[in-house]
Every structure is written in structure tokens, then in C-alpha cells.
Amino acid sequence: MSGQIAVVAGGTGGLGKAVSLAFLNEGAKTVVTYRREEEFLSLKDAAGSNKSLLEGYQVDVTDESSTAKFIDKVLVAHGKLDTLVNTIGGYAGGIKLWDTDSTVLDRMLSLNLRSGFILARAVLPAMLRSGHGSIVNVAAKAAVDHGAGAGAYAASKAAAVALIDSLAGDCKGTGVRVNSILPSIIDTAANRKAMPDANFATWPKPEDIAMVVLFLCSEGAKTIHGAAIPVYGNS
């Protein structure tokens, strides 16, 4: 992927960091968004000899104006944008729907749905002009497996899959490919801390999920468009 420009939204998080490193290892210029400076510095350190290919911007991608300005900066600096991966997301669960405050639903829709909507709107004009591009949005197994106690979360992830599926129809024949991936519980430090008694061996590793994302953004996946790919590990 040498010479390609990849934007990884949330590129310093548990999954995002692995995705960013995967693109860097393939030689792509990788532009990440982050919320905390220390996370970007950690990613930069992990990038090692590839850190010259890494750029970072402190952006809230649920804010339309800030996201548009960020993408404009990327296009001015590099003249194109080949790939967008959205790893932004949040979880809220463990409570019955009738005990769930409406602010939880608002937060889930913002993180899990609005982020993908705003990012896609920001990058698509440039991708459509070039007749080339790949968008991968990270949803979740909960989009199709709606367990109890997580109604707001499941609804937001299901909506995210529907959004990308519809967008794939919009992009048919343009040269821009759009897909979703549906991980189950990802083996991150935060998830281990939240569920210390779980069997971590059954959870997919961020690095393994990153390989799926990398493939979807590669020429090897040029026939995959409008897919929602399960990445469940052994769970």
C-alpha cells in the first residue's frame, strides 16, 4: 500500500491502534484521529521506523464541521484519500430497556452511527471524483445478535450496518467500495478490565481483526462491496 493515504478514525484506540499499525506496516501514509494526546504518542512510539508515515489530528468525528475541516486538511496535504476506516464506537449495556436513560441512546447513536455518517459524507466527494476508494465501518456482532440488556447499543450498531449497506447501493458503479465488519467482544485491555472473569481466549484479537480490515481495503478485495463480515473469533 505504498503511496496510499489511509484515514483511521479512532486510530489510537484498542482496535484502531492495531489497524493503524497494520496500514503503516504496509507502507501506507496513515492519518489517525484521536481524543487524547497520550494515546497518539503511544501509537507513534509503537510505529517505530514507520512513524514518519504517521499523522495525527485531535478531532471529534461526531462533529460535522470539525470532521469536514480535518478531511480538507488531509486532501490539501496529500491530494487524495484512498481509504477510510472508522473504528469509533462505544458500548453501554447491562441494564433493561425500561431502566435505560434516553441520554444513553443519544450517546450510542452519536458514537456508533453518527460518526460513520459524518465521516462518509466528508470523504466521499473526493473518492467519487477519483473513481477510487474503500470505506470500512466497524459495527459489531450485536448488530445482528440482539442480546438482552443492550437495546440502545444493539440498535445503534444495527443502524450503522443499515447505513453502510444503503451507502454501498449509492456507490455501486463508482469505483468506491463500502463494507462493514462485525466483531464480537474484542480482546482489549478495557474489555478485559470490564469482564475479568471472561474467557479471553475466545475473543478476536485486535491484530487479527486489523488483517481483515487491511484485506478489505486492498486490491485483493476488489470484488467485495456491500458486505457485513462477521469477525467473531472462537466465541
DSSP calls for 23-42: HHHTT-EEEEEES-HHHHHH
pLDDT at 71: 98
Q: How far apart are CA 195 and CA 193, in angstroms?
A: 6
pLDDT at 107: 96
pLDDT at 233: 78
Beta-carbon neighbour count of residue 94 at 10 Å? Answer: 10
Q: What is the pLDDT along the chain (235 residues), one digit of tens a residue?
A: 889 999 999 999 989 999 999 999 999 999 999 999 999 999 999 999 999 999 999 999 999 999 999 999 999 999 999 999 999 999 888 889 999 999 999 999 999 999 999 999 999 999 999 999 999 999 999 899 988 988 999 999 999 999 999 999 999 999 999 999 999 887 788 888 877 888 888 888 999 999 999 999 999 999 999 999 999 876 5
DSSP run (H or E) holding 177: strand 176-183
List domains and CATH numbers for the chain. 5-231 (3.40.50.720)
State pTM to two decimals: 0.94
Q: How far apart are CA 97 and CA 78, in angstroms?
A: 46
**130, 83 Cβ separation under 8 angstroms:** no
3-state secondary structure of 111: helix
pLDDT at 65: 97
Q: Residue 19 burial by CB count (10 A; 0-12/13-18/19+): exposed, middle or buried?
A: buried
CA distances 89 to 77, 133, 197, Å, are 27, 22, 23
